């Protein structure tokens, strides 16, 4: 994505990003093992190990997420996620049109994310992730919060299925996000940007 000003990704954001990525990946893999359990063979690892790992990793992610919230809301970084609601539909349509024609959408200097990015990142970072954390914590520590019975069955199932549904959305996002991270000019430009802060192509050029 072209930027008039190749703004540097702050260190804290980069640390948060990679920590979250790693933890989320572990959570997804262990979660698959827990959900699609089979008596005869484990999909990825032993069920008990997967359970313990999922629990501890989830707790770590919860802590890191809280730290990110403090960061985002405290420093104003969170403003990057808020889309321009007015005319959003038109902007998104325009952006998709540009992609379909094979071009790059030009975005302004002050913005880090293009409109589609803003929208999707907002939904993931401030929608899916916190709800995953909350449902996971209820599952783990506070199952009493869930109703005793819900629609004739044990009351924990909406929490459990909500957690699973959000995980599905997160996994689908993960797949697309990883791929798009490899879409920079050259396979690693965006990766370098997220590791080093900026790509080594200087200001004013494609990051």
According to CB under 8 A, which one of 66, 175, 203, 204 is a site residue for other proteins? 175
11 versus 153: smaller Cβ distance to other proteins:
153
Distances, alpha carbon 162 to alpha carbons 58, 149, 157, 201, in Å: 16, 16, 8, 43
End-to-end CA distance of the chain: 7
- Residues 63-102: x where in contact with other proteins by CB under 8 A, - otherwise, as a string: ---------------------------------------x
Please tell me the distance from the alpha carbon of residue 51 to that of residue 30, in angstroms, as a whole number: 7
Q: How far is CA 98 from CA 61, 63, 93, 102, 179, in A?
A: 36, 39, 9, 6, 19
Binding to other proteins by residue 37, rule CB under 8 A?
A: yes
Q: Is 187 in the site for other proteins (CB under 8 A)?
A: yes
Dihedral, CA of residue 15, residue 19, residue 22 and residue 24, to nearest 10: -130
152 binds other proteins (CB under 8 A): yes
Does 160 contact other proteins by CB under 8 A? yes
Q: Judged by CB under 8 A, does residue 38 bind other proteins?
A: yes
Neighbours of 58 (CB within 10 A): 22
Q: Which is nearer to other proteins, 129 or 189 (CB)?
A: 189
For residue 161, state whether it binds other proteins (rule: CB under 8 A).
yes
Query: What is the contact mask toward other proteins in residues 45 to 64, using x (rule: CB under 8 A)?
Result: -xxx--xx--x---------
> Which residue number, 18 or 36, has a Cβ lying nearer to other proteins?
36
């Amino acid at each position: 994505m072209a930027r008039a000003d190749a703004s540097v990704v702050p260190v804290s954001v980069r640390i948060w990003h990679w920590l979250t990525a790693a933890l989320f990946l572990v959570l997804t893999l262990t979660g698959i093992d827990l959900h699609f359990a089979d008596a005869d063979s484990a999909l990825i690892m032993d069920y008990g190990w997967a359970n313990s790992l999922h629990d501890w990793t989830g707790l770590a992610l919860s802590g890191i997420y809280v730290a990110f919230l403090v960061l985002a809301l405290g420093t104003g970084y969170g403003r990057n996620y808020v889309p321009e609601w007015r005319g959003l539909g038109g902007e998104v349509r325009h952006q998709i049109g540009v992609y379909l024609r094979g071009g790059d959408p030009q975005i302004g200097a002050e913005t880090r994310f293009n409109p589609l990015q803003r929208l999707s990142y907002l939904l993931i970072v401030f929608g899916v992730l916190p709800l995953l954390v909350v449902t996971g914590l209820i599952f783990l520590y506070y199952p009493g919060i869930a109703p005793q019975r819900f629609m004739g069955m044990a009351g924990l199932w909406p929490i459990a299925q909500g957690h699973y549904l959000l995980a599905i959305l997160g996994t689908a996002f993960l797949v697309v996000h990883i791929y798009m991270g490899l879409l920079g000019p050259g396979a690693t430009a965006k990766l370098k940007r997220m590791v080093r802060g900026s790509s080594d192509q200087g200001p004013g050029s494609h990051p």
